[in-house]
Amino acid sequence: MPLGPDDDKRERILTVDPAKPDSESTALVARVVVGPDALGLIRAGISTLAVAQAYEFDSQEIAESAAAELRTIAALRTRIEDMRGSITAPARLIIENARGMFKPALEHLDRAELFLKDGLKGWTKLLEDRAALVRRQNEENERKARAEAEAQAAALRAAAEERSKAELAKAAAAQAAMEVAQAAGKKSEVARLAAQAASATQRAENAVAAGEAAAQDAVLEAGAATVVMPTVATKVAGFTTRERWVAQFQTGIGAAQAIRLIARELQSRPELVAYLSLDESALNKTAGAQKSAFNVPGFVAVNDPVAARARSK
- Flag whether pLDDT at 139 surpasses 90: no
DSSP letter assigned to residue 229: P
Task: Report pLDDT digits (tens) over 18-41.
Answer: 344 444 444 555 677 778 888 999
On whether the CB atoms of residues 235 and 127 are closer than 8 A, the answer is yes
Letter for the amino acid at 66?
A
Query: Please, which pLDDT band fits residue 100 given cuts at 50, 70 and 90?
Result: very high
Determine if the pTM surpasses 0.85. no
Number of C-beta neighbours around residue 209 at 10 A: 12
Q: Dump pLDDT digits (tens) for 35-57.
A: 888 899 999 999 999 999 999 99
Per-residue pLDDT tens digits for 281-310: 999 999 999 988 999 999 999 888 776 655
* Alpha-carbon gap, residue 21 to 182, rounded angstroms: 110
Q: Identify the pLDDT of residue 138.
A: 78
**Percentage above 90 pLDDT, the chain:** 28
Q: Which residues of 117-145 are buried (b: 16+ CB within 10 A; e: fewer)?
A: beebbeebeeeeeeeeeeeeebeeeeeeb
Mean pLDDT of 149-169: 88
Please list, in sequence order, all residues whose beta carbon lies within 8 angstroms of the beta carbon of residue 290, skipping any fewer than 6 positions away.
Answer: 245, 301
* Section 244-251 average pLDDT: 90
